[in-house]
Copies of this chain bind each other. A is one copy, B any other.
Amino acid sequence: MSAARSPGPDGPSGRSPSFGDIAHLGHVELLTPELEASARCFTAVLGLREVGRDATHVYLRGESEYERAGLTLTAAGRAGIGHLGLRTTSGEALARRVEAVTAAGIAGEWLPGGFGHGPAFRFTGPGGHPTELYWETERYVSPEADRPPAKDRLGRRGTAGVDVRRLDHVNLLAADVAAAATLAWSALGATLLDEIVDDVGVMAGAFTTFGQRPLELVYTRDPYGAAGRLHHVAFWVDTREEVLRAADIFVDHGIQIEVAQHTIGRSFFLYGFEPGGNRIEITTGADLVLDPAPVTRTWTAAERRQGVGWGTTFPASWGAYGTPDVRGE
């Protein structure tokens, strides 16, 4: 497990030798048994823009995403995550990461491409989540009607709903968090900024990032030991005021709020459920990680609870619910 602890016994460096090949979390595919209702929620309530659809998929983007689509909704029998996509920093970087994943004993396959991006290497990680690595992408060009005067913004403000900026991070559930974090660190070059260690010293949460944001790919322990489940997917807004406005909009549009806005450090959150059943988060405020060699912060479960800014209490569903929902199975 020490391999997953970026500084570990070996000093202050939090940088993996593979750091720098993965640019960022590029997109997430959500499965939903209620495709139309989910699409309405993500557009009318969250304010994402629809950029494509077919019989079983709806493709959506946040206003400031430079790629074509950060979110794909796919019709399915149960809610959950279809796959996540990670963009590399170059074609060479992609080749290196594919080699590293394969060297780790994980088989994968090359796909000719996906909506808005080029060839992707698809594999299933230790946590059971389909993951794609890709380099070639389509830079989004706004249609004239949606183009703002400022050439450094892609979309216009004032559309309906929360008007989220972009996909921010994804929190996956894994039976073995350390194994998932180890691959992220060793093969993908992720930085482990925060980890939660349970009372018997086993890693229960791993918050990893590929750049200067504090988290992009998060693994927390699956209470049911299931494979490939999703805890939540998060979208970014610019200010805390927008998160409060989002809470008002959720309530006024019948989107159930699970945890009203709360804080950790300077991050600020709101959680609810989209009609398909997947947990969604609206977030802002995180400090950037400027330190090139950050020391991993290790939290005990108790510290983590205390560290939740204002002493906000979480409902039981927070620990038990994920998609697909396996309670009672």
**Which A residues lie at the B interface, using CB under 8 A?**
13, 15, 20, 23-24, 44-45, 64, 66, 87-90, 139, 148-153, 156-162, 165-166, 194, 211-213, 238-242, 244-245, 247-253, 257, 260-266, 268, 285, 287-288, 290-295, 297, 299, 303, 306-307, 309-313
A287 — which chain B residues lie within 8 A by C-beta?
A: 64, 152-153, 165
Say yes or no: A248-B292 contact (C-beta < 8 A), given A194-B152, A262-B260.
no
The 4 closest A-B pairs by CB, nearest first: A158-B249, A156-B252, A152-B265, A23-B292
- Picked from B211, B253, B264, B309, the residue with its CB within 8 Å of the CB of A158 is B253
A-B contact pairs, 24 of them (CB 8 A): A13-B90, A24-B292, A64-B287, A66-B294, A87-B292, A88-B292, A149-B251, A149-B306, A150-B264, A151-B299, A152-B287, A153-B287, A157-B248, A157-B249, A211-B211, A212-B212, A212-B288, A238-B266, A240-B244, A244-B268, A248-B309, A251-B309, A260-B310, A260-B311
Interface pair A263/B291, CB less than 8 Å apart: no
Interface pair A150/B212, CB less than 8 Å apart: no
Interface pair B252/A148, CB less than 8 Å apart: yes
A260 — which chain B residues lie within 8 A by C-beta?
A: 260, 262, 310-312
Copies of this chain per assembly: 4
Query: In whole angstroms, how far apart are the Cα atoms of A15 and B88 in the complex?
Result: 13
A212 — which chain B residues lie within 8 A by C-beta?
A: 211-213, 288
Closest chain B residue to A247, Cβ basis: B310
- Picked from B150, B240, B244, the residue with its CB within 8 Å of the CB of A265 is B150
A13 — which chain B residues lie within 8 A by C-beta?
A: 90
Say yes or no: A90-B311 contact (C-beta < 8 A), given A158-B161, A244-B240, A245-B157.
no
Query: In whole angstroms, how far apart are the Cα atoms of A150 and B285 in the complex?
Result: 15
Query: In whole angstroms, how far apart are the Cα atoms of A263 and B299 in the complex?
Result: 31
Interface pair A290/B150, CB less than 8 Å apart: no
Closest chain B residue to A159, Cβ basis: B160
Query: In whole angstroms, how far apart are the Cα atoms of A242 and B166 in the complex?
Result: 20
Interface pair B252/A157, CB less than 8 Å apart: yes
Say yes or no: A291-B151 contact (C-beta < 8 A), given A158-B160, A162-B158, A253-B158.
no
How far does the Cβ of A12 sit from chain B's closest Cβ, in whole Å? 8
A288 — which chain B residues lie within 8 A by C-beta?
A: 211-213, 288
Query: In whole angstroms, how far apart are the Cα atoms of A46 and B32 in the complex?
Result: 34
Query: In whole angstroms, how far apart are the Cα atoms of A295 and B154 in the complex?
Result: 14
Query: In whole angstroms, how far apart are the Cα atoms of A271 and B136 in the complex?
Result: 40
Say yes or no: A152-B264 contact (C-beta < 8 A), given A158-B161, A240-B239, A287-B64.
yes
Say yes or no: A307-B150 contact (C-beta < 8 A), given A157-B245, A238-B266, A241-B240.
yes
Query: In whole angstroms, how far apart are the Cα atoms of A177 and B299 in the complex?
Result: 47
Query: In whole angstroms, how far apart are the Cα atoms of A276 and B307 in the complex?
Result: 25
Say yes or no: A89-B15 contact (C-beta < 8 A), given A66-B291, A148-B252, A291-B66.
yes
A295 — which chain B residues lie within 8 A by C-beta?
A: 139
A311 — which chain B residues lie within 8 A by C-beta?
A: 251, 257, 260
Interface pair A148/B251, CB less than 8 Å apart: yes
A151 — which chain B residues lie within 8 A by C-beta?
A: 297, 299, 303, 307
